[in-house]
Structure 1
Amino acid sequence: MRSSNPVFSRRGFSRDNGHAQFNAAPQAGGPAVGTQQGNPYAGGNPYAGQNPYAGQNPYAQGDQQTYANPYAQDQYGVQAPTTDRMTMDDVVMRTATTLGTLIVTAALAWWFLPVDAANMGKSYGIAVGAGLVAMVLALVQSFKRKASPALILAYAALEGVFLGVVSNVVDTHIANGAAMQAVIGTMAVFTAVLVAYKAGWIRVNRRFYGFVMAAAMGFVLLMAVNLLFAVFGGGDGLGFRSGGLGIIFGIIGVLLGACFLALDFKQVEDGIAYGAPREESWLAAFGLTMTLVWIYMEFLRLIAILQGDD
């Protein structure tokens, strides 16, 4: 399981069919052993190499060997809870820690980096610098094979500084109350996607993954081109981030963020089902944080466009 930044690649999708949902029992379709159905994750487990018992499959119900395996399964092939495997509680705690760090630094930046006319340049410069460093840290973590809690928390802290200043600028000079509205919008999207995912209304399979990644790469490419035109040509570049086009692309950005939340939930579910190491919960928290930041920024931009035109 890797980071879920909408720009970065993912792995860990091995089940193509069925409604994905939290705490779902292992689905049918795995290789059969003997006359009984074997583990549907056997042969497709991305964490098999990290499991000291991977060479002697404890899921194989046709095998009569007896293992002294602390990860033993019950008669239905459900893995028993262990202390070194990722659980939902681990993901919730790591995500709360990462988001909490981001929120605290955002609040500090809001209060201690004023955005009045006299201090705007200095505060904005600090915010841009923090954002660039955060992006570098995110790239480093995304290409690392293992989670680095210190790196992830550093990213969250610096990203919080960036968001705090930008939110203050928008809230003070463009649209009063925009930051709180963006927070409420982000929470609403998160809740809606979670409910839809648990209810099985969202089918997260390879086709869904491919469509979302293609759409995200196209979106990012267009925004990069728009940014280049804005830097070298002035104004808002091609106009993708202002006016009517800005509203359309803002809505698309929010929808893409919602799709990436579904992919994040699927990765968490698969990591728990596969018996991923506990450290993978940090990657899950990292991915969820980046996706929520994406959605928040799109909401903030949308609100600034809508209220700025009034």
Structure 2
Amino acid sequence: MNFKSKNPFLNNKSFSPTSRAEQVHEATVIGLEQEMTLSGTINKTILLFLLLTASAMVIWWLTFNGMNPIIPAIGGAIIGLILVVISSFKPQYSSYLAPGYALFEGLFIGGISAIFEVQYPGIVIQAVGATFVTFAVCLGLYKYQIVKVTEQFKSIVLAATLAIATYYLISWLFSLFTSFQPVHYGNSLWSIGISVFVIVIAALNLFLDFDQIEQGVQKRMPKYMEWFGAMGLMITLVWLYVEFLRLLSKLSSRD
């Protein structure tokens, strides 16, 4: 059984050789400059990161100059999610949707970062540093094949990711209609433990993302899949950063 990444982009039939054959006419010859490359995906990932950072910095600056960041944060998250859904069904439009996602997701990241920073000064730089270190370590482990993405590895990561998503959804629904307080709320040791577990699973998803991008290059996917892969990787990094913010806030509130 071939399990994919949790990303709605990387876990997509567009990465299969069959779908590629369906998208290209038999009489069409695709040159190397029209195929997905690793360097192209890296460049586009860096570009998306810069766009997200620039957007986040604007909201950050506006927040510390008196603006309420809640509205842009919520709006950015909603629009970003819509762009994610569209791109998962129409990956050929990723070259337009991916930059849009980065800009709107930057509104969300900038807004929640400012909120956390007001409550816990210095937490943002810690979360950014932790995210970068985690990414670098995972990339190194994958590049030097210290961690190999096997089918069993994919199965475990996918199962854990789905379990987390299900738990979050059920907890949110219960908290809406009852006085139930999910165990991952607050700063108890149980809550901190759950945050650590979620961060580990998010980090493991990076390995699946790296593998899917590599597979896309090897299968000579169309050029737009560079944007598609870069966008999927950004989703995991955003998830990882947000979880680091949550964990660090719990630890800080115990001091």
Normalized per residue, the structure richer in helix is 2
Partner of 1:285: 230
Q: What's the secondary structure of 2:34's corresponding residue? A: coil
Where relative contact order (Cα < 8 A, 6+ residues apart) is larger, the structure is 2
Partner of 1:231: 176
> How far off is 1:102 after superposition?
0.5
Q: Matched residue pairs, number?
A: 250
> How far off is 1:145 after superposition?
4.2
Normalised by the size of structure 2, how large is the TM-score?
0.88
Q: What's the secondary structure of 2:92's corresponding residue? A: coil
Partner of 1:251: 196
Partner deviation per Cα, 1:239-261 (whole Å, 9 max, x = no partner)? 22332222112111211111111
Partner of 1:19: none
1:294 aligns with 2:239: yes
Partner deviation per Cα, 1:135-156 (whole Å, 9 max, x = no partner)? 1221221222424222221111
> How far off is 1:126 after superposition?
2.5
The amino acid that maps onto 2:178 is G
Partner of 2:122: 177
> How far off is 1:294 after superposition?
0.6
Q: What's the secondary structure of 1:277's corresponding residue? A: coil
Partner deviation per Cα, 1:224-282 (whole Å, 9 max, x = no partner)? 122223333358x2122332222112111211111111111111111111111111000
Partner of 1:148: 94
The amino acid that maps onto 2:105 is E
1:221 aligns with 2:166: yes
1:108 aligns with 2:58: yes
1:165 aligns with 2:115: no
CA contact (8 A) 2:9 2:231 kept: no
**Higher Cα Rg: structure 1 or 2?**
1
1:165/1:83 Cα in 2 relative to 1: closer, same or farther (>3 Å)?
same
* 1:267-286 correspondence to structure 2 within 5 Å: 267-286=212-231
CA contact (8 A) 2:69 2:115 kept: no
Q: Unaligned 5+ residue runs, structure 1?
A: 15-43, 56-68, 72-81
Q: Unaligned 5+ residue runs, structure 2?
A: none
Q: Which of 35, 39, 53 matches 1:89?
A: 39
Q: What's the secondary structure of 1:238's corresponding residue? A: coil
RMSD: 2.7
Distance across 2 between alignment mates of 1:201 and 1:54: 42
Normalised by the size of structure 1, how large is the TM-score?
0.73
Distance across 2 between alignment mates of 1:103 and 1:50: 34
Distance across 2 between alignment mates of 1:190 and 1:13: 25
Q: Give me the identity figure in percent.
A: 28
> How far off is 1:13 after superposition?
11
1:180/1:279 Cα in 2 relative to 1: closer, same or farther (>3 Å)?
same
1:51/1:212 Cα in 2 relative to 1: closer, same or farther (>3 Å)?
same
Distance across 1 between alignment mates of 2:147 and 2:13: 18
